[in-house]
């Protein structure tokens, strides 16, 4: 029994480390891309990027909807019922590519209408249109990449997903630099480089076909709506979690545009992109816990399920503590990196916002792990409830209400307030779920 516990701890730790590097690689590219745009196009470029960001969230959300949900079904059945998952990956990939092509067509036919709804004004609309049209063409690749990453990880090859993420980061950062500065394409170059991101990742992930223990298969097949809906059911929490980022960015942009103009949006762009790095780390931990918790739950090894969760929560909270104090110490030089034009308003908004906004990481680190954990053990309802509260029911009204009473400082404060409420409910729901398992009915946290 002791050897089994040690084995699970070691396995979870290994998955967490690999998934942190994988998730961090992607987020670091986003951060570097933001920096390059700030240097090449200034604060208006930052504001433009932030206006278009929700589109990325939409593509990624749909990929996670089917990727996380499908991979959870894959893990739950790969040991006891492998015949049920033979064509699962193929059906989801075909569906994603078809849906992505549809988005690419719509994005190129109606860019001005879409961007105006998203908050673009006379200063940003032309730059945003160029960027948006190119990025829309990458929709099938973004979605297929997220599906593939989750399936390959849950097929027992997290090392490859880490390698894919790090390779795409290094290659795309180089392409970003080459196209933006080397060829002087600026925002157009940034958009073209962005499409190389999922393309590079998929190229590396294709080597999974040589993995000796793989059960994953890709072949031509008919897409069944029932399969798509079944995967979507378990992937809804991840979809809502990722999409909530896009929706909140959209609301933040509209509110901040009224309160402080494009400089306030640019400051939020800096803060939000720094935040993406931390959320990616926490998500990496959650994704490291997920396949082990799902597999052990399928085997009815409930003590191991609990061990996996505890390790994940301990790691994320430790990272949150260290990260917050580093942000407090280095907030000024961090903001200066993104402020090539030395805009005093941008600095003032960002410096004031960082200490308030990033209190949220003490709670978001718990929320991401708990939501994905609940989905992994087939509690889609609990994970869905937390995702809805976190991304929509609490956050969106909080942004508007806090902005009314506290101005821009109130906008920053709406995020930690939301994460705290959701974390409290998440701990309660997880303890309740754990108490129903066949283990000691002690408090989990």
Spatial contact of 371 and 290, defined as CB atoms under 8 Å apart: no
* pLDDT for the residue numbered 205: 94
427: pLDDT strictly greater than 90: yes
Share of the chain above pLDDT 70, in %: 96
* pLDDT for the residue numbered 102: 96
* pLDDT for the residue numbered 220: 83
Indicate the range of 25-29, 35-39, 68-72, 231-235 predicted with least confidence: 25-29
Share of the chain above pLDDT 90, in %: 47
* Mean pLDDT to the nearest integer, 340-361: 92
pLDDT digits (tens, 9 = 90+) for 176-227: 999 999 999 988 999 999 899 899 999 999 999 988 888 887 888 888 888 8
Mean pLDDT of the chain: 88
203, with CB counted inside 10 A (0-12, 13-18, 19+), is: middle
Q: Can you give the pTM of this predicted structure?
A: 0.78
DSSP assignment string, 339-394: -TT--HHHHHHHHHHHHHHGGGHHHHHHHHHHHHHHHHTT-HHHHHHHHHIIIIIT
132: pLDDT strictly greater than 90: yes
* pLDDT for the residue numbered 2: 54
pLDDT digits (tens, 9 = 90+) for 65-121: 999 888 888 888 776 777 777 788 889 999 999 999 999 999 999 999 999 998 888
428: pLDDT strictly greater than 90: yes
Q: Which of 103, 313, 84, 195 is nearest to 75 (CA)?
A: 84
31: pLDDT strictly greater than 50: yes
If phi > 0 it is left, if psi is from -120 to 50 it is alpha, else beta; for residue 217 that is: beta
Spatial contact of 21 and 165, defined as CB atoms under 8 Å apart: yes
């Amino acid at each position: 029994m002791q050897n089994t516990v040690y084995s699970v701890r070691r396995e979870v730790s290994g998955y967490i480390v690999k998934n942190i590097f994988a998730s961090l690689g992607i987020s670091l590219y986003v951060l570097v891309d933001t920096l390059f745009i700030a240097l090449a196009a200034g604060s208006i470029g930052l504001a433009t990027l932030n206006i278009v960001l929700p589109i990325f969230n939409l593509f990624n959300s749909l990929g996670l909807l089917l990727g996380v949900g499908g991979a959870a079904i894959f893990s739950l059945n790969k040991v006891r019922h492998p015949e049920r998952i033979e064509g699962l990956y193929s059906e989801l990939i075909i569906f994603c590519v078809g849906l992505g092509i549809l988005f690419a067509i719509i994005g190129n036919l109606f860019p001005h209408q879409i961007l105006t709804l998203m908050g673009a004004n006379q200063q940003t609309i032309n730059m945003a249109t160029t960027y948006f049209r190119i990025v829309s063409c990458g929709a099938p690749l973004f979605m297929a990449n997220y599906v593939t990453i989750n399936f390959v990880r849950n097929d027992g090859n997290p090392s490859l997903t880490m390698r894919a993420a790090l390779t795409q980061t290094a290659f795309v950062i180089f392409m970003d630099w080459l196209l933006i500065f080397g060829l002087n394409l600026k925002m157009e170059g940034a958009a073209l480089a962005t499409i190389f991101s999922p393309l590079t990742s998929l190229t590396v992930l294709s080597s999974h076909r040589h993995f000796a223990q793989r059960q994953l298969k890709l072949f031509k097949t008919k897409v069944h709506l029932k399969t798509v809906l079944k995967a979507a059911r378990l992937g809804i929490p991840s979809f809502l979690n990722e999409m909530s980022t896009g929706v909140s960015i959209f609301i933040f942009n509209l509110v901040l545009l009224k309160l402080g103009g494009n400089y306030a949006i640019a400051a939020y762009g800096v803060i939000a992109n720094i935040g993406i790095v931390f959320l990616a780390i926490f998500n990496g931990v959650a994704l490291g816990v997920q396949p082990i918790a799902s597999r052990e739950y399928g085997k009815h090894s409930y003590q191991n399920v609990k061990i996996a969760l505890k390790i994940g929560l301990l790691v994320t909270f430790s990272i949150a503590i260290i990260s917050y104090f580093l942000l407090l110490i280095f907030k000024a030089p961090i903001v200066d990196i993104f402020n090539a034009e030395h805009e005093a308003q941008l600095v003032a908004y960002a410096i004031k916002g960082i200490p308030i906004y990033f209190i949220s990481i003490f709670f978001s680190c718990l929320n991401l792990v708990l939501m994905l954990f609940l989905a992994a053990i087939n509690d889609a309802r609990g994970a869905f409830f937390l995702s809805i509260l976190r991304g929509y029911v609490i956050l969106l009204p909080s942004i508007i209400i806090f902005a009314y009473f506290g101005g821009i400082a109130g906008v920053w404060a709406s995020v930690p307030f939301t994460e705290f409420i959701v974390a409290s409910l998440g701990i309660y729901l997880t303890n309740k779920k754990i108490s129903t398992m066949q283990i000691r009915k002690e408090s989990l946290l």
